[in-house]
């Protein structure tokens, strides 16, 4: 397991869930790199998707969590950067498969679609699950 912190970022819609998941990351034994937003005021989700991508591509972190209303917009922004594999997940199964099959390095969540407990479940699964490699490595290599 990496000793690097886990980054977390959100827009205003995901701010409250970001606070909850930041505490959960710490409870799971990881440091947190908080990339913002730092309040509930309206902001633009691409800014925080790009901030996460920079943290991943600069190797400041190996994994991160991004949150907006649906998880879709912020994941699109993050995925525009090579080396970022952000997966929108809605349950533990999608979080597990994102790691096992896609080597996702960023978990994207929709604060308006899932509740805090489901988000915590997704987070724990995402952080505990390893990439399966094997036949999946060939496919993941084609993403970049």
Encode pLDDT of 105-133 as tens digits: 999 999 999 999 999 999 999 999 998 88
Domain membership of residue 76 (yes or no) is: yes
Q: Which of 67, 2, 8, 56 is nearest to 29 (CA)?
A: 2
Would you name the residues annotated as active-site residues? Answer: 68, 101
Domain membership of residue 120 (yes or no) is: yes
CB atoms closer than 10 angstroms to residue 132 = 14
**Residue 84's domain is classified under what CATH number?**
3.40.1400.10
Whether 1 has a pLDDT exceeding 60, the answer reads no
**Tokens coding 108:** 């994207």
Burial of residue 8, with CB atoms counted within 10 A of its CB: 0-12 exposed, 13-18 middle, 19 or more buried = buried
Distance (Å, whole) CA 144 – CA 42: 32
What integer best gives the mean pLDDT of the chain?
Answer: 95
Pairing of strands 6-10, 32-34: parallel
* The total number of structural domains that make up the chain: 1
Domain membership of residue 1 (yes or no) is: no
Q: What is the pTM of this model?
A: 0.95
What's the domain range around 48? 6-141
Domain membership of residue 48 (yes or no) is: yes
Domain membership of residue 103 (yes or no) is: yes
């Amino acid at each position: 397991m990496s000793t690097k912190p886990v980054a977390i970022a959100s827009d205003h819609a995901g701010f409250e869930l970001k606070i909850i998941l930041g505490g959960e990351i710490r409870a799971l034994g990881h440091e947190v790199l908080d990339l913002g937003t730092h309040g509930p005021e309206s902001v633009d989700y691409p800014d925080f998707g790009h901030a996460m991508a920079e943290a991943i591509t600069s190797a400041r972190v190996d994994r991160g969590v991004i949150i907006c209303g649906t998880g879709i917009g912020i994941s699109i922004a993050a995925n525009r950067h090579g080396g970022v594999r952000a997966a929108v997940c809605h349950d533990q199964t999608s979080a597990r498969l994102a790691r096992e099959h896609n080597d996702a390095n960023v978990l994207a969540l929709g604060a308006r679609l899932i509740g805090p407990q489901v988000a915590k479940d997704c987070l724990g699964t995402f952080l505990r699950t390893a990439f399966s490699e094997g036949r999946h490595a060939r496919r993941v290599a084609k993403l970049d």
